[in-house]
Amino acid sequence: MKLLVINGPNLNMLGVREPALYGKQDYTALCLYIRAACEKRNIEVDIFQSNHEGALVDEIQRAYGRYDGIVINPAAYTHTSIAILDALKAVGLPAVEVHLTDIDTREAFRRVSYVRDACIAVFAGHGFEGYEMAVAQLISAQA
């Protein structure tokens, strides 16, 4: 099984500011965590991060025929991007939405998720562990 993990804008800034919200660990630590979670389950993984909506759409399209599932934290684009929703629907791969924080208990504008409509599950508010939960979900969806 081969998974693609996609992270949206500003997640590369993890650990730099707002540690109370997003934790003290940086983006490199998140990537190491995801790789370890996949390795222990014998899952191949590629991780992609971009601050640009079109680049995220391009990467989702590129996944078609190459991966068995997508784990996506679209960051702020969660709440705005019909383009990312359409790309996920277009490729039709099982996708799981992840957020480090619990977006349902933050500002009202974060309660809206456009991408949710194209995802089989959502894990929000579990920090790094949410990515591992998403990987486990995709494995059990495939079985």
Query: Which residues, numbered 96-115, are part of the site for ligand CA2 (CB under 6 A)?
Result: 99-101, 103, 110
Q: What's the DSSP call for residue 67?
A: -
Question: Does 51 contact ligand CA2 by CB under 6 A?
Answer: no
Among 14, 37, 45, 88, binds ligand CA2 (CB under 6 A): 14
Rounded CA separation 135/45 (Å): 10
Judge whether 129 and 23 are in contact, CB under 8 Å: no
Rounded CA separation 110/22 (Å): 15
Diameter of the chain measured on Cα atoms: 40
Clarify whether 22 is annotated catalytic.
yes
# residues contacting ligand CA2 (CB under 6 A):
17
Clarify whether 126 is annotated catalytic.
no
Please pick, among 67, 99, 114, 131, the residue that the annotation labels catalytic: 99
Among 73, 81, 113, 137, binds ligand CA2 (CB under 6 A): 73
